[in-house]
């Protein structure tokens, strides 16, 4: 299935208990499209950067078959910049800087070739940009997946609720699910959020895995206990990229297949955290991915006879 990815393409500066990065390439759209490219060759990105964005990364997108016709480059302007600092447990972080720059007045244009994409992955960006992309699709995509964060809940909740009412799957972390629903229990939160529109909700819990809910069922994918966790930035986006990539590859958007897709998402995210930025997901082999997925299968497989 064809895939359209929308999301920030950006510079990040990251501080973890293990070190501090320089300004490096990041952004939700970067992580999602690099990750999805391991599963489908029919994908494109819609985003915006300034003329400070390195050509080498645009070349990297091309080498992975990511169509960049929808990646606008604004001359004389600066790319989105985000800086964050992780706490000691790596499960929580503080945003130190958010400079929207080119994102401040971004009017996305979906290229003709991508207007009939069957899966649309709306990565972290302002809700009005996400809405505009939905409105530009010629046919209603088979699946619209949305990722967002507390930043947009704080400053654009009404628009965010509008997008949420028009999508199929929402992925957010546990803190954000609580903020959006006003419920502490994640089960109650899931019920409230599903009532806002999406048929499926994924709650990401960092090193504690991810929960997949629909109206009647809940499924759990663990996170792999890793010896080295270096930098969790982009893990949520990489998860989303693996999730939609797997659905696109297998041409199946059923809830049963989503259970497998969140295992793939978790496996891809487990690579992402092993190095600073997107480095680890830039060059993976099929064997490495298969072996990692097998580790997930081994982690949770057990026999009980009752």
User: Judged by CB under 6 A, which stretch of 209-217, 232-240, 250-258, 260-268 contacts ligand AMP?
Assistant: 232-240
- Positions in 140-159 near ligand AMP (CB under 6 A): 151
Answer for which of 28, 120, 186, 223 binds ligand AMP (CB under 6 A) is: 28
Q: What is the DSSP string of the chain?
A: --EEEE---EEEEEEETTEE--SEEE-HHHHHHHHHTTT-S-EEEEEEEETTS-HHHHHHHHHTTEEEEEEEEETT-PPEEEEEEE-TTSS-EEEEEEE-GGGTT------GGGTT-SEEEE-SS-HHHHHHHHHH-SS--SEEEEE--HHHHHH-HHHHHHHHTT-SEEEEEHHHHHHHH--SSHHHHHHHHHTTS-SEEEEE-GGG-EEEE-SS-EEEEPPP--S-----TTHHHHHHHHHHHHHHHHT--SHHHHHHHHHHHHHHHHHHTTSSTTGGGTS--HHHHHHHHHHHHHHH------
User: Judged by CB under 6 A, which stretch of 7-15, 104-112, 174-182, 297-305 contacts ligand AMP?
Assistant: 7-15
Residue 176 binds to ligand AMP (criterion: CB under 6 A):
no
Answer for which of 50, 70, 141, 236 binds ligand AMP (CB under 6 A) is: 236
Residue 125 binds to ligand AMP (criterion: CB under 6 A):
yes
Answer for which of 33, 40, 68, 124 binds ligand AMP (CB under 6 A) is: 124
Residue 98 binds to ligand AMP (criterion: CB under 6 A):
yes
Answer for which of 12, 39, 45, 231 binds ligand AMP (CB under 6 A) is: 12
Answer for which of 82, 106, 243, 246 binds ligand AMP (CB under 6 A) is: 82
User: Judged by CB under 6 A, which stretch of 24-32, 105-113, 215-223, 281-289 contacts ligand AMP?
Assistant: 24-32
Binding positions for ligand AMP, rule: CB under 6 A: 8, 10, 12, 26-28, 82, 98, 124-125, 151, 233-237
């Amino acid at each position: 299935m064809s895939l359209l990815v929308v999301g920030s393409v950006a510079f990040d500066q990251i501080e973890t208990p293990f070190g501090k990065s320089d300004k490096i390439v990041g952004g939700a759209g970067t992580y999602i499209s690099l990750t999805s490219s391991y599963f489908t060759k029919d994908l494109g990105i819609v985003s915006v950067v300034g003329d400070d964005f390195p050509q080498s990364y645009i070349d990297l997108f091309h080498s992975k078959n990511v169509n960049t016709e929808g990646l606008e480059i604004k001359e004389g302007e600066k790319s989105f910049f985000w800086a964050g600092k992780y706490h000691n447990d790596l499960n929580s972080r503080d945003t130190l800087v958010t400079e929207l720059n080119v994102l401040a007045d971004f009017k996305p244009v979906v290229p003709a070739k991508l207007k009939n994409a069957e899966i649309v992955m709306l990565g972290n960006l302002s809700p009005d940009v996400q809405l505009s992309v939905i409105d530009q699709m010629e046919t209603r995509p088979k699946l619209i997946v949305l990722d967002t964060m507390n930043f947009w809940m704080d400053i654009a909740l009404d628009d965010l609720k509008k997008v949420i009412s028009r999508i199929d799957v929402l992925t957010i972390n546990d803190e954000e699910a609580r903020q959006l629903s006003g419920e502490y229990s994640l089960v109650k939160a899931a019920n409230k959020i599903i009532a806002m529109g999406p048929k499926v909700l994924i709650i990401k819990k960092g090193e504690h895995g991810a929960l997949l809910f629909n109206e009647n069922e809940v499924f759990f994918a663990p996170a792999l206990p890793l010896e080295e966790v270096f930098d969790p930035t982009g893990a949520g986006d990489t998860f989303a990229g693996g999730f939609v990539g797997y659905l696109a590859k297998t041409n199946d958007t059923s809830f049963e297949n989503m259970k497998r897709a969140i295992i793939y998402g978790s496996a891809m995210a487990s690579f992402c955290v092993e190095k600073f930025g997107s480095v680890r997901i830039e060059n993976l082999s099929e064997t490495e991915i298969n072996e990692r997925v097998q580790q997930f299968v081994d982690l949770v497989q057990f026999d009980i006879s009752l």
